[in-house]
Structure 1
Amino acid sequence: MDSQKVDLFLATSQKFFEPAQLPFIREQLSLIDDSRFLAVSSMEYRDPMMMLLVSIIGGSLGIDRFILGDTGLGVAKLLTAGGCGIFTIIDWFQIQGLTRRKNMELFMRALNF
């Protein structure tokens, strides 16, 4: 893979991943061909900052968990009003890291691992 494409992808997508994961992502992108790179770069990664805003606004209804695909926790938060507010507050601190982990899982799935 062309190093300029890899650098461009990392420059535009680094907010979606943990900083410690970026060297691994760079290595994996340099090993794939153009068709798989197109699949990886066309994935819709979730923005951690946007997920934090969603969690602050609608976290007690479980909207943040539904968006990330955690339907079980979303239903639990919906039925218990965010665990009486406890799950909601905990998610305010954890949602960005969780979003970045989900983005990494999506990246790995696009690489067919």
Structure 2
Amino acid sequence: MDSQKVDLFLAANQKFFSPTQILTIKDRLLALDDDKFTLINALDYKDPTMMIIVSVFAGSLGIDRFMLGDTGYGVLKLLTCGGCGILTIIDWFNIQDLTRNQNYTKLLQIIS
């Protein structure tokens, strides 16, 4: 893939990925064909900042986990009111990393 397209993609979407993942993404995108570039741009990445806001306001209902696709953990948080608040507080610290990892695995599925 063209270096300028890769740099443009990374500049526009770097907030969706962890800084440690950016170099790996760049290397894999440079080795990729141009045909998959439209698929990569069409992916719906979750915003980690939005997820922390959802987690703070509706995390005890498990909505943050439902949005990530982790329905089992979401149901657990829903039935236990966020594990009596404990699971909700833990997610406040983990939800951004979980979101970035989910975005990374979604990207890797298209690249591979």
TM range (shorter): over 0.9
Cα displacement (A) at 1:103: 0.5
Q: How many residues align?
A: 112
The within-5 A match list for 1:1-113 is: 1-112=1-112
Moved over 6 A (4+): none
Instruction: Tell me the TM-score normalized by structure 2.
Output: 0.97
Residue 45 of structure 2 aligns to a residue whose secondary structure is coil
Amino acid across the alignment from 1:12? A
Counterpart Cα distance in 2 of 1:63 and 1:42: 24
Q: Structure 1 counterpart of 2:3, which letter?
A: S
Structure 2 unaligned residues grouped into runs of 5+: none
- TM-align CA RMSD: 0.7
Q: Provide structure 1 residue ranges, at least 5 long, that are not aligned to the other structure.
A: none
In 1: Cα distance, 2:54 partner to 2:111 partner: 29
* Identical residues among aligned pairs (%): 58
Q: TM-score scaled by structure 1?
A: 0.97
Deviation of the 1:61 alpha carbon: 0.3
